[in-house]
A = this chain, B = another copy of it.
Amino acid sequence: MSPSRTAPTLIAQYRCFDGWVRRYRHASESTGTDMVFGVYLPPRAEHAPVPVLYWLSGLTCTDENFMQKAGAQRLAARLGLALVCPDTSPRGTHLPGEHDSYDLGSGAGFYVNATEAPWSAHYRMYDYVVHELPALVEAHLPVTDRRAVSGHSMGGHGALVCALKNPGRYASVSAFAPIANPSRCPWGQKAFRAYLGDDPQRWRQWDACALIAQAEERLPLLVDQGAADEFLAEQLHPEALEAACAAVGHPLQLRRHPGYDHGYYFVATFIDDHLRHHAQALLGDYL
- Answer whether residue A228 sits at the interface, using C-beta atoms and an 8 A cutoff: yes
Indicate if the CB atoms of B68 and A15 lie closer than 8 Å. Answer: no
Residues of B with C-beta under 8 A to A268: 16-17, 71, 73-74
Assembly CA distance A15 to B268 (angstroms): 11
Contact B14 A263 (CB under 8 A): yes
A219 to chain B, nearest CB (A): 28
CB contacts (< 8 Å) of A73 on chain B: these are 265, 268-269
The reply to whether A15 and B74 contact each other, CB–CB distance below 8 Å, is no
From the candidates B21, B68, B257, B265, name the one contacting A14 in the complex (CB within 8 A).
B265
CB of A259 closer than 8 Å to a CB of B = yes
Contact with B along A240-261 (1 / 0, CB 8 A): 0000000000000000010111
| A257 to B69 alpha-carbon distance, docked (Å) | 22
Q: In the complex, what distance in Å separates the CA atom of A10 from the CA atom of B40?
A: 36
Partner of A15, one of B16, B17, B71, B261: B261
The listed residue with most B CB atoms (<10 A of its CB), out of A16, A228, A272, is A16
CA distance A263 to B226 in the complex (A): 30
Question: Nearest Cβ in chain B — how far from A177, in angstroms?
Answer: 13
Contact A261 B69 (CB under 8 A): no
Cβ-defined contact, A16 with B71, below 8 A: no
Q: How far is the CB of A20 from chain B (nearest CB, A)?
A: 8
Q: Report Cα–Cα, A271/B71, bound state, in Å.
A: 12
A264 contacts chain B at the CB level, 8 A cutoff: yes
Interface members, chain A 260-286 (any B CB < 8 Å): 260-261, 263-266, 268-269, 272
Q: B-contacting residues of A (Cβ < 8 Å)?
A: 14-18, 21, 68-69, 71, 73-74, 226, 228, 257, 259-261, 263-266, 268-269, 272
New contact pairs (15) apart from A68-B68, A69-B69, A71-B268, CB-CB < 8 Å: A14-B261, A14-B266, A15-B226, A15-B257, A15-B266, A15-B269, A16-B268, A16-B269, A17-B268, A18-B269, A68-B69, A73-B268, A73-B269, A74-B268, A74-B269
